[in-house]
Structures are given as C-alpha cells and as structure tokens.
Amino acid sequence: MRSSEHIGVVGAGIVGLALARRLLLQRPGIRVTVLEKEDRVAAHQTGHNSGVVHAGLYYKPGSLKATLCRRGVGLLRDYCAEYGLPYDEVGKVVVALDTEEEARLDDIERRAEENGVPGVTRLGPEALRDLEPHAAGVAALHSPTTAITDFVAVAEQLADDVRRSGGRVLLNTPVLDLRQEDDGVRVLTGEPRGERHVHRFDRLVACAGLQSDQLARMAGAGPDPRVVPFRGHYHELVPERRHLVRGLIYPVPDPQYPFLGVHLTRHVHGEVMAGPNAVLATAREGYRFRDLERGEFAQTLAWPGFWRLARRHWGTGVRESLVSVSRTAFARQARRLLPEITGADLRPAQAGVRAQALGRDGSLVDDFRVDAHGRVVCVRNAPSPAATSALAIAEYLADTHVPPR
Ligand SMILES: Cc1cc2nc3c(=O)[nH]c(=O)nc-3n(C[C@H](O)[C@H](O)[C@H](O)COP(=O)(O)OP(=O)(O)OC[C@H]3O[C@@H](n4cnc5c(N)ncnc54)[C@H](O)[C@@H]3O)c2cc1C
C-alpha cells in the first residue's frame, strides 16, 4: 500500500540517516525529511569515534544492544560490500593483564557465546603474541570478525541513498522547537540565512545524539534521563611505530564503568590510535579541554544523578582528567597494553564526545532506549555500539516505533 505520510527525522548522524533510508526503501510514496543543524552529515558522534564494528562480545544477552549489534554487523558488512566502502575484519584481542582480569574474561566469553558472536577463542600468552607480538597480557579473548570501517563514509552513502530515493537532507537546519497538534507535529527550525521556518510532519523521530534529551523535552517528555557528555581524547601513534599494532587491542572492561577503557585501534586509512579516555565534558559539543558552555555545564551540575555518579567514580574522574592533559599519563595507560610505547611515540589526535544518558538516581542507562510521546519518537540513548548497529536500529525503529499506517 502506498503511504502519503510525511515523516521528519531530527539528526543526520548514522542513526537518523539509516532510519530515513529504511523508511524510504520500505514504504512507497512516503515523504521523509532529515533536519540537521550542522553544515554536514556525521558532524558529531558518528564522525568522532573509534571506527570499530563491534562483534557483540560484551552486551547483556537479550538486550537491544546485543540483538541489534549482532544484526547490525551483518547488515553493515553487506552494505559496505555493496557500495565499496571500507570494511576490514582485522580482529580484536581483549587482553587480561593479571589473573583477576583473566577471571573476568570468562564472563565476556560466556556473553559472546550467548550473543552468537562467531569464532571467539581463548588465547594463552604465546598465542596472543602470535597475533599481536607487542601486546602485554597473561591471556586474551580473540574475536576474529571484529572489523573497522569509516563511519563518516557510511553516513555520507546513507545520505546519498536518502536523496536518491526522493528524501531530503536539510543541512544548517537546527530544530528550535516543536508543537504536537491533533493532526501532526509542527517543527520550528532556523534556516541557513537566519530566517525561521515551520515544517509540518505527520510523525517525527528525534535521533539527536548529544541533544537527545533536549529534543525529548521539546516533545513534552520529562527530563529523566539527562544526557551527560563524556569527552574522549585520542593520541595517534607516530607512523614509524604503527607496526606495534596489527588489529585492535582492548583491555578487559571494568564492569562498574560504562566505557571500554583506552584501547589501541588500527583505522582503515592506516593510522593507529590510542584512546579514548573519558572525562566529563563542559560542553556537549566541546572537543577541546577549554570548551565551556556555561548553560550546559550548569545543567549537568544541577542534575542530581550527576552527583550520585560523581561520588561513586570521583577517583576515576581525576585519573582520566590527568590522562587528558598529560601525554606522559596517556602513554602510561596505553603502555599497560603495549609496553613498548613511550610518550614520544604519541601525538595528540581527535577527540569525541559521548552522549551518555544518566538517570536522576545516578544510574547510567546501559541499553539503547527509545521513548514515544504522542507523535514524536525520541531515541534517548544510543551510545556505542550504535554506529555498528545503526542499520538494525533503523529496522527496529521503523517496525516497532514508527509502524506503517
Ligand atoms: C569517542 C567515541 C568512540 C566511539 N566508538 C565507537 C565504535 O568504535 N563503534 C561504534 O559502533 N560506536 C562507537 N561510538 C558510538 C557511536 O559513535 C554513536 O553511538 C553513534 O554515532 C550515534 O549516532 P547518532 O546518529 O545517534 O548520533 P550523532 O552522530 O551524534 O548524530 C546526532 C545528530 O543530531 C544533530 N542534532 C542534534 N540536535 C539537533 C537539533 N536541535 N536540530 C537539528 N539537528 C540536531 C547533531 O548535529 C548530529 O549530527 C563511539 C562514540 C564516541 C563519542
């Protein structure tokens, strides 16, 4: 059946673009418009990440992260093959540095099996050295299908697909406000030349990353959970030391902590990165240490959940902040995985800011989270592995939250 609906999507990151493409491919006659405040697609998280296609090792079996990551990997691999985009199964080792970490590998191995991750094997120190000759570790898990890609190239291709299928991607078009009415949603946007414009949609889906709680508030939802931004800095290995890393070398993650810890990743264009660490960002889109948005930072400090989280993790917070400002401290962290690295082998590279949803009670929202408010659907938490999972998140959103009418 042909659809005459007009669906608006806020955000031209990988999630919004994948959804727009999915709707256009699936529903003949539908109109889809993507509204993006920046002058390009993939300007925020999608364009500032590690470029890793996660295989699904860590995620709680049955969670959206676990199921959509596994499905997303297959869809992304096929998509990259179809369009000739980079996709390289360089493989990943999760390295245990002592017997206590080795015991935690058991849990990850069990989860990987339950999640159906193919080919995961346990390595002793010699087998680890065969794969990654310069890595430290008493044991490791090897995931041979963990891959790397270029998520910006993927997002640009998705945007091309949207346009070729008759959809629109409007850049320099920030959503300033929205109003739900009986027959649709009215969306006020700023326009490239400074004027204002009102768009009317039948339904709206907000895939706004670091601003996802703001969009939810505009839709009439409550403030819980709030996005707290965590910046991660990367350092690049100087070219003559890139040979120290063949694929992807990760530490065993701390189960109390939402991020994976500084890892070493080979990128599709040959660079090798160390990072990211995780420090509280004083601006949601602040990529430098000195970036401060007073209003946004005040909002973070005013959120009760932030102080509950800070009390639990203040020691880690201080340590991670030090790693951000000191190359020596950064090298010390990377050296745990790769003992030959020195400060002279590293030079500062990009940073990324993660949108982490945090509950009022201080709990970190672990899984992907989508809420509906009238005619507006809000993606409220889409942290890693959402880039890996984007094509599957798009299927899930389209089928479950924006079903055909
Ligand atoms: C440091 C770091 C490392 C990561 N590593 C990996 C990894 O290796 N593998 C992986 O799978 N995932 C990784 N992730 C996570 C992944 O990048 C994100 O989960 C994913 O990119 C989320 O995509 P998105 O489209 O939801 O958000 P985004 O890419 O942030 O896009 C949201 C878009 O919404 C736009 N927007 C916001 N507000 C408005 C408004 N009012 N009006 C109009 N437009 C608006 C923004 O400008 C932005 O373009 C990492 C993330 C970070 C930060």
Ligand 1 atom with minimal separation from the 189 CA? 42
CA quadruple 391, 395, 400, 401: dihedral sign: positive
Pair 358, 305: CB distance under 8 Å: yes
What sign does the CA torsion over 397, 398, 399, 404 have?
A: positive
Tokens read off for 216: 């939810």
Q: Tokens standing for 155?
A: 């997002």
Ligand 1 contacts CB of residue 207 (under 6 A): yes
284: left (phi over 0), alpha (psi -120 to 50) or beta: alpha
HSE-up (13 A, CA, CB side) for residue 180 = 16
Q: Ligand 1, residue 43: give the atom nearest the CA.
A: 49
Q: Classify 85 as helix, strand or coil.
A: coil
User: d(Cα 318, Cα 363) in Å, to the nearest integer?
Assistant: 20
Q: Can you read off the two tokens belonging to residue 72?
A: 């997303």
Which residues have C-beta within 8 Å of that of residue 233, sequence separation ≥ 6? 275, 276, 277, 279, 323, 324, 330, 348, 351
Which atom, in ligand 1's list, is nearest to the CA of 173? 43
Cα–Cα nearest to 219, from 227, 231, 211:
211
Ligand 1 site, residue 17, Cβ cutoff 6 A:
no
CA–centroid distance, residue 28 to ligand 1 (Å): 28
DSSP state of 364: B
Please give the Cα distance from 152 to 265 (Å, whole number).
17
Beta strand pairing call for 168-170 and 31-35: parallel
**b vs e for 225-262, b when ≥16 Cβ sit within 10 Å of the residue's Cβ?**
bbbbbbbbbbbbbeeebeebbbbbbbbbbeeeebbbbb
Question: Rounded to the nearest whole angstrom, what is the distance from the C-alpha of residue 207 to the centroid of ligand 1?
Answer: 9
Q: Which of 384, 388, 391 to mutate to test the pocket of ligand 1 (most atoms within 8 A of CB)?
A: 384
Task: Tell me how far the alpha carbon of residue 136 lies from the centroid of ligand 1, in angstroms.
Answer: 32
Matching residue, tokens 């699936």: 26
* Sequential pLDDT tens for the chain (405 residues): 677 899 999 999 999 999 999 999 999 999 999 999 999 999 999 999 999 999 999 999 999 999 999 999 999 999 999 999 999 999 999 999 999 999 999 999 999 999 999 999 999 999 999 999 999 999 999 999 999 999 999 999 999 999 999 999 999 999 999 999 999 999 999 987 778 999 999 999 999 999 999 999 999 999 999 999 999 999 999 999 999 999 999 999 987 776 777 899 999 999 999 989 888 888 899 898 888 888 888 888 889 888 888 877 766 765 666 666 677 778 888 999 999 999 999 999 999 999 999 999 998 899 999 999 999 999 999 999 999 999 999 999 999 999 998
Please report the pLDDT score of residue 319 as a whole number: 64
What structural domains does the chain harbor?
1-89+148-225+365-405 (3.50.50.60)
- Which atom number of ligand 1 is nearest to the Cα of residue 11? 34
Starting at the earlier edge strand, list the strands of the sheet with 203-206: 168-170, 31-35, 6-10, 203-206, 376-381, 369-373
| 50 ligand 1 Cβ < 6 A | yes
Q: Distance from the CA of 315 to the center of ligand 1, in angstroms? A: 27
- Distance between CA 18 and CA 113 in Å, rounded? 28
User: Residue 72: CB within 6 Å of ligand 1?
Assistant: no
Question: Residue 109 Cα, ligand 1 centroid: separation in angstroms?
Answer: 28
The best mutation among 10, 21, 46, 158 to test binding of ligand 1, ranked by most ligand atoms within 8 Å of the C-beta, falls on: 46
Ligand 1 in reach of 49 Cβ (< 6 A): yes
Q: What separation in angstroms does the CA of 89 have from each of 16, 112, 146, 147?
A: 26, 17, 6, 4
Give the other-Cβ count within 10 Å of 271's Cβ: 15
Atom number of ligand 1 nearest to Cα 275: 1
